[in-house]
Each structure stands twice: as structure tokens, then as C-alpha cells.
Amino acid sequence: MTEKMNIVEAINAALHDEMEENEDVIVYGEDVGEDGGVFRATKELQEEFGEERCFSSPLAESGIAGTAIGMSLYGFNPVVEMQFSGFSYLAFHQIKEHAARFRMRSRGDYTSPITVRAPYGGGINALEHHQESPETFFAHSKGIHTVIPSTPQDAYSLLRKSIQKEDPVMFLEPKKTYRAFKEEVDRDKKVELNDCRIAQEGNDLTLISWGAMIPLAEEAAEEVDADIEIIDVRTIQPNDYDEIVESIEKTGRAAILHEDSKTGGMGGDIAGKLQEDAILHMEAPVERITAPDVPYPLYTLEEEYMPDKDQVVNGIREVLEF
Amino acid sequence: MREEVYSGSIQRIEVMGTDDDDDFPWVEEDEYRELYKQMVLARKFDEKAFSLQRRGEISTYAPHKGQEAAQIGAMFALDEDDWMAPSFRETAAFIARGAPLDKIFQRWMGDANGQAGLSEMNTLPVAIPVGTQNLHTAGIGMAMEKKGDENAVLGFTGDGSTSQGDFHESLNFSGVYNAHSIFFVQNNQYAISMPREKQTKSETIAQKALAYGIDGIQVDGNDILAVIKAVEEALEKARSGEPVLIEAETYRLEDHTTSDDSTRYRDEEEVEEWSKKDPLKRFKEYLKDHGIWTDELEEFEEEAENRIDEAAQKAIEMDDPDIEELFDYVYGDNPDLIEKQKEQWMEAQK
């Protein structure tokens, strides 16, 4: 049975279904209780499952992540919310140095199966620090999975899978597209982590992207007179990107689109992978279409900062015409 | 108009040499002897680890000399189903918890396999970053309350960590959620070179509890009986959802680690003064004064040395971990990426 949902509804449904299925799943974070979260992703969970299992916590990101680790060591599966990914840096130490390392540190004796959710990325005219794209920080943290869904179906299926994982997961939610569109979501559909998704098949160029940039990638692909394959990376790390290499073997051309800035962005890693494994199949250099290497601006300049359709179209054309 | 809206006070517990000692015996006679033996073992471990570091068998070691009463007393008070969360100077606590000596050496020798199997004794592996482990103590205590269990978790931390945000977040979360948590601060007077009075303007560390609505108490951390009493009282509260902060006043008689030279920041007289309060000497005198001392205890020093030597030798002779272990404990089910890299690294070794 399927049901039409947008991304935020799909996240709410995934949390609901996991809580129903496993009583050790608990949900907490700033304002997630009565308020249902500032984006309503945890809407009505407290009403249904009670304050013991869904509650608002003190305002302290490290405290939220660190206590979740402690609770996970004692048998819970906490799903905690960072109100905005730009504030997740306060919890970064707990996630990277503790959640990610308990298995290694104890030779598999302890694990910390927490899921940390955070609204991610820009494009909503929010305040400073509310629009960051910190995926590379988490991708660089070995021992955790960093997941960014781009569709309601993936948001639902990947979040359920993340909660079920015996590993910590950083689940970044593209908030620009939280309510942008709806699609049929099949609650029985299971999706594995660590794989890419072919969002659109094509033969002329592979456009690699994730999160809120996927709809932009699709729009841009329609504008150009070529057959574009779009790959939604969706698990940033660990991901061997072999699906991208396979695609390049077919298309011979690649462009990478992400809303994070260029230097240190994941586009560099993917380009490096293609250089190592697909160079002899490539007809053109890899193009990276990204934000510039400056801090995310206050919102009057947001549109100039984020990649737009023209930039993507131009980027694609450059690769096609090389 | 002004009126007082809050006032608080902090009490200190001492036993040895005070009127309170009229309550003797505090524990069973054989338990007194067992406590002493654990202290001797811990002291011998420290000495051995030091010499192994000088010989290059251990890269860096953090000595606990002077803190045996605090650690062993605290662990004695715990039951088996209580949890322990260490920082990194808790070797004496691991010994008291029953962790195999050779495994403790193995971990200090840089092999995480020394920390395998700790879940059987409800004990977390060592955490090196300062103070961040307090949030795990808070979270475990929150989980105990949520599960309706009647046990508690004791987390060790140091005076330096009380400057960290995570320490304060831990106390705050614990108070709000009635966590079954005890935060046991070993105030050993120095955070590397930073003396306690420059670390915080608080008169005591224990009083920091009051700001979070939880109980705080100070204890003479070189008095093992006072430590046991403080932790037993705290356990009674923590097990029913009242978290406690204990400040155990003690002294690090050695350097911060084997890479440190404490003569640069503290004078000999101070160390000598505290040496007079060496918890091991004090306990030995106490046992003699109370007629608990035996020939067996007199001879235990040699036995302890032998046991420590054997354990150290066993750890030295252990094989290094296999290279594949680099890849085996990162994820539950290894993603393809890690499996492929594992193959590459294994292949490169041939």
C-alpha cells in the first residue's frame, strides 16, 4: 500500500513506524515533543507514544548526542534531532570521537546505534548558521554512515534502515525540499544504505548530486539537448562510488553538483575516484558545480551563493562541448 | 525588595582519624584486607607500567599513584549490575573491577583488544578526550531510569574536565531526567600543569552540583573508607533517580603522564606534604591500628609484584593485532568500500 507524502511527512512516518515496531526506539531533541520539532518532523509522536519515548530536551547539542550514546550503550535506539545542521558542530566531537569509535575501541563489544537527524542545506531564507551543508565533516568521520535522501520514498526507507543499523548514522535532511513535492511512498519498500540511486538514465553525461540539488539537476537536464544520467549519491560515506564509475564507463562525461562550497566538498572526492578508476573512459574533465569558497551568506545573497539552473546547464554544456 | 531565593552548602566526609571512625568496622575484616591488596596491586601496576614505558614497551602511560583510595573505594561500593564509565587514569578502578591485569597492560601497550569483553563487567572502555565521557554516564543513567532498573552508573572524571561544557551538560541532563548517575570527580589538584585554583573560582568542585539541582558532596579521596561511605550514600540516591556529584580530594603523586615533567610546575615541598597522606600508607597504618593487619598482607607485596610481572610479560608476548582488525570493527556489516580496502591492505602485506 502506498500513500502520497512529502519528505517531512515521510520522515515523520518512518519515525512513527520504527517507534511502533521497536519500543527501544526513542526520539528526542530540542522542541521535538509538544511542538513536534521546528519543521514538524516529529509531529504527534509524543501524543502517540508518550513523553517517555518522545520528548523535548535541554538546549544542548553535545548533550543530546552524548546522552544518546550513553542510552544506546544501555540498549536504547535513540533518534535525536539537531535543530539545524549548522548547530551540529557542537555535537561533532561526540559523534565523531565517541559514537563512531565505540565498536573499534571495544573490539565490537559495544556499539552505539544512534541516529542523528538534522535539517540540512540552504535555500529557505533562514538565519545565519541555519543553512549549512556539513556533509564532508561527517563523511570524514569513519565509523558512521552519512545519509542524505532526496525523495520522500528514500527519506522514509533510508531513515528506517538508519534506525535499524547497529552503527551510528548521521541523517541529513534537505530542508529546502521538505515540503516541495509529494510522491507515493511504499512503506514496505526497503533500501540499503551505502548505495547510490540512478535517478534518471542517460547516455551522454553523468550528473552526480544529492539532497535538494536533485530536483535542480532534473530541471537542468531537461534544458540541455542531451541524454543525461542523474545519480543521486544519497549515502555520502561509506560509499565506494562504483555505480558512478560504471555510469562514466557508459557516458564518458561527468559533472558533480552540490550546494556545499567547492574546496573540501565531496565533489572533490568523487572527482578523485573517477580520476583513479575511470580516466581512460573519460572524454572530458570532471566539472564541479558548487557554491563558492565563502561562508554561507545572510539570505539577501543566498540565491547568488547556491548553484542555480543556469550554472548547472552551463556546467553540463561545458563538459558536453569539451 | 530583596530576599534570598537560594542558599546551599556542601558537606565533606572524612573517616580515618575522626570521631566517625567509632562506627568501625565499616566493612568485613576480609574486605579490609581485599581492599588493601587491590591498592597494593594497583601501586605495583603503576610502578611496572612506568618502567615498561622507559623500556619502550609502553608509549605513554598515565600514572594513578596517590589516587588508589579514590578509585578502589568507589569501585568497592558498586554492585556487579552497576555500571562504570572511566576516563583514562582509572587503571586502579579497572583492577578493582576485576579486569584481567594482562589485558590492562595490553591496552596501555596500544592494543584495543585489551578492552574487549568489558561489557561482561558493565564497564566502558577508556575515553581519552577530557570530560566528554560524562555525557555517556548521564545517558546510561537516563536509560536506567527509563528502563525502570534499580542500578546506577558511576563515571570517573577529573578536576580539569569540570571546565568542559560536556561536564555541565551532563549534570544538567542528569538532573532533568532523574538519571541514575554518579559523577565522581577525582580532584587530584592539577590538570597537567594547571593547578586547581586556576581551573575554577569555585571554592569546591562539589558545589557545582547545586546549580543543576542535584546533590554534591566532597570526600577525602585519600581516605578509602570515606570514599566507600560517600559512594554508598550516593548509590542509594542515584539508584532511585537522584544523581550525585562527588568531589574526591586527592593528589597525583606522579607526573600527568610519562611525557610530563611535573617539577616544572609544582614544588617538592607540596609533593612531600601530600606524600604524608599517601592513601596506601594511611590504610596500612589504619589496618595495623585496628588489629586487621596480618602476615599475609605483609607478604602480599611480593606476591603482587610477581602477579604484575607475569601479567606484563604475558602482554609483552601477545601478538600484535592482525592488520585485518583495522577494518573489522568500524561497521557492523562492512560496506563494500571498507571490504575492498581491507583486501587491498591485506594484499599489500603479502
pLDDT (tens digit, 9 = 90+) per residue, A158-201? Answer: 999 999 999 999 999 999 999 999 999 999 999 999 999 999 99
**Which overall architecture, per CATH, does domain A2-186 show?**
3-Layer(aba) Sandwich (3.40)
CB contact under 8 A, A66 and B118: no
**Residues B203 and B342 both lie in one domain:** no
Contact flag B337-A60 (C-beta cutoff 8 Å): no
Specify whether the CB–CB gap between B75 and B84 falls below 8 A.
Answer: yes
Residue A238 sits at the chain B interface (C-beta within 8 Å):
yes
Per the structure block, which three cell numbers stand in for B253?
603523586
Q: Is residue B211 part of a domain?
A: yes
| pLDDT of B129 strictly over 90 | yes
Stretch B72-100: mean pLDDT: 98
Q: Is the pLDDT of residue B100 over 90?
A: yes
d(CA A174, CA A148): 7
Question: Are B197 and B334 members of one domain?
Answer: no
Would you say residue B282 has pLDDT above 80? yes
Confidence of residue A8 (pLDDT cuts 50, 70, 90): very high
Q: Report the SS3 class of residue B303.
A: helix
Q: Are residues B227 and B305 in the same domain?
A: yes
* Residue B256 scores a pLDDT above 80: yes
Summarised one tens digit per residue, pLDDT across range B42-70 is: 999 999 999 999 999 999 999 999 999 99
Q: How many angstroms separate the CA atoms of B326 and A316, rounded?
A: 40
Summarize the confidence of residues B185-201 as an average pLDDT: 96
Q: From the candidates A16, A98, A130, A145, which is the catalytic residue?
A: A130
The pLDDT of residue B241 is: 98
- The residue in chain A having the minimum alpha-carbon distance to the alpha carbon of residue B170 is A63
Residue B210 shares a structural domain with residue B224: yes
CATH 3.40.50.970 intervals, chain A: 2-186
Domain extent, residue B22, equals: 11-319
Q: Are residues B297 and B332 in the same domain?
A: no
A71: pLDDT strictly greater than 90: yes
Q: Do residues B233 and B341 both lie within one domain?
A: no
Q: Can you read off the three cell numbers belonging to residue B211? A: 546549580
H runs (alpha helix) in chain B: 29-54, 68-77, 91-97, 101-108, 134-147, 165-176, 196-199, 224-238, 268-275, 279-289, 295-317, 325-328, 336-349
Q: Are residues B251 and B343 in the same domain?
A: no
Residue B79 lies in a domain: yes
Chosen from A74, A79, A89 to mutate, greatest number of chain B CBs within 10 A: A74
Residues from chain A that touch B118, judged by Cβ atoms under 8 A, are 106, 109-110
Q: Does B1 reside within a domain?
A: no
Task: State which amino acid sits at residue A3.
Answer: E
Q: Please, what's the b/e burial string for A136-148 (b: 16 or more CB within 10 A of its CB; e: otherwise)?
A: bbbbebebbbbbb
CB contact under 8 A, B140 and A71: yes
Asked if B143 and A70 come within 8 Å (Cβ–Cβ), the reply is: yes
Q: What is the mean pLDDT of residues B105-123?
A: 97
With a CB cutoff of 8 Å and minimum separation 6, the contacts of A4 are: A182, A183, A184, A185
What whole-number distance in Å separates Cα of residue A215 and Cα of residue A209?
10
Quote the mean pLDDT of chain B.
96
Q: What domain count does chain B have?
A: 2
Cα–Cα distance for residue pair A301/A306, rounded to 1 Å: 9
Q: Please tell me whether residues B216 and B308 are part of one structural domain.
A: yes
Asked if omega into B25 is within 30° of 0 (cis), the reply is yes
Separation CA B154–CA B166 (nearest Å): 16
Asked if the structure places residue B4 within a domain, the reply is: no
Nearest to A194 among B116, B332, B336 (CB): B336
CATH of residue B229 = 3.40.50.970
On the question of pLDDT at B350 being above 90, the answer is no
In this prediction, residue A1 carries a pLDDT of 80
Complex-level ipTM beyond the 0.90 threshold? yes
Q: How far is B222 from chain A (nearest CA, A)?
A: 30
CA distance A239 to chain B (A): 6
Residue of A70, A102, A103 lying closest to B140 (CB–CB): A70
State which residue of chain A sits closest to B148, comparing Cα positions. A52
Residue B5 lies in a domain: no
Whether B6 is in a domain gets the answer no
Contacts for B160 with CB less than 8 Å, ≥ 6 apart: B130, B131, B191, B192, B194, B199
CB nearest to B135's CB, from A66, A103, A107: A66
**Does the distance separating the beta carbons of B143 and A76 come in below 8 Å?**
yes
Catalytic site includes residue A98:
no
B205 and B155 in a single domain? The answer is: yes
**Each residue's pLDDT tens digit, B196-237:** 999 999 999 999 999 999 999 999 999 999 999 999 999 999
Smallest Cβ–Cβ distance between A240 and the set B172, B330, B337 belongs to B337
Would you state the cell numbers that stand for residue B19, as one nine-digit string? 570521631
Confidence of residue B349 (pLDDT cuts 50, 70, 90): confident
Nearest residue, CB atoms, A194 vs list B118, B325, B335 = B335
Q: What is the pLDDT of residues A218-247, one digit of tens each?
A: 999 999 999 999 999 999 999 999 999 999
Average pLDDT score over residue span A130-150: 96
C-alpha distance from A54 to closest chain B C-alpha (Å): 12
Q: Which residues of A touch B336 (CB under 8 A)?
A: 194, 240, 242
Q: Where in chain A is the domain with CATH 3.40.50.920?
A: 197-320
User: Residues A94-135: pLDDT tens digits?
Assistant: 999 999 999 999 999 999 999 999 999 999 999 999 999 999
A251-295 pLDDT tens trace: 999 999 999 999 999 999 999 999 999 999 999 999 999 999 999
Amino acid identity at A81: E
C-alpha distance from A105 to closest chain B C-alpha (Å): 6
3-state secondary structure of B336: helix
Q: Are residues B85 and B133 in the same domain?
A: yes
Give the whole-angstrom CA distance, residue A288 versus residue A255.
6
B51 and B191 housed in the same domain: yes
pLDDT exceeds 90 at position B19 = no
Judged by CB atoms closer than 8 Å, whether chains meet at A165 and B332 is answered as yes
Exposed e or buried b for every residue in A163-172, given b needs 16+ CB within 10 A? bbbebbbbbb
Q: Which residues of B touch A66 (CB under 8 A)?
A: 132, 134-136, 138-139, 166, 169-170
Q: Taking CB atoms and an 8 Å cutoff, what residues of chain A touch B129?
A: 93, 97-98
pTM over 0.95: yes
Tell me if the bond preceding A238 is cis, omega within 30° of 0.
yes
pLDDT over 70, % of chain A? 100
The Cα B66–Cα B39 span in angstroms is 10
Count of CB pairs separated by less than 8 Å, A with B: 152
Domain assignment present for B75: yes
Q: Which positions of B are annotated as active-site residues?
A: 252, 256, 265
Q: Of B60, B55, B95, B56, whose CA–CA distance to B74 is shortest?
A: B95
Q: Enumerate residues 218 to 237 of chain A having a beta carbon within 8 A of any beta carbon in chain B.
A: 237
Share above pLDDT 70 across residues of chain B, in percent, rounded to a whole number: 100
Q: What is the DSSP letter of A98?
A: I
Judge whether B3 lies within some domain.
no
Residue-level pLDDT at B254: 95
A297/B contact by beta carbon, under 8 A: no
Task: Say which CATH topology domain A197-320 has.
Answer: Rossmann fold (3.40.50)
For residue B187, list its beta bridge partners.
B249
Sign of the CA dihedral with A128 first, then A39, A70, and B247 last = positive
Is residue B23 scored above 80 in pLDDT? no
Q: Which of B116, B46, B163, B303 has its CA nearest to residue A102?
A: B116
> Do residue B169 and residue A66 have CB atoms under 8 angstroms apart?
yes
* Statement to judge: residues B290 and B189 lie in one domain: yes
Chain B residues with CB under 8 Å of A106 CB are 112, 115-116, 118-119, 124-125
pLDDT for residue B20 is more than 80 = no
Q: Please give the distance of CA A305 from its chain centroid, rounded to a whole number.
A: 20
Nearest alpha-carbon partner for A157 in A182, A193, A181: A193
The per-residue pLDDT for range B320-341, each reduced to its tens digit, is 999 999 999 999 999 999 999 9
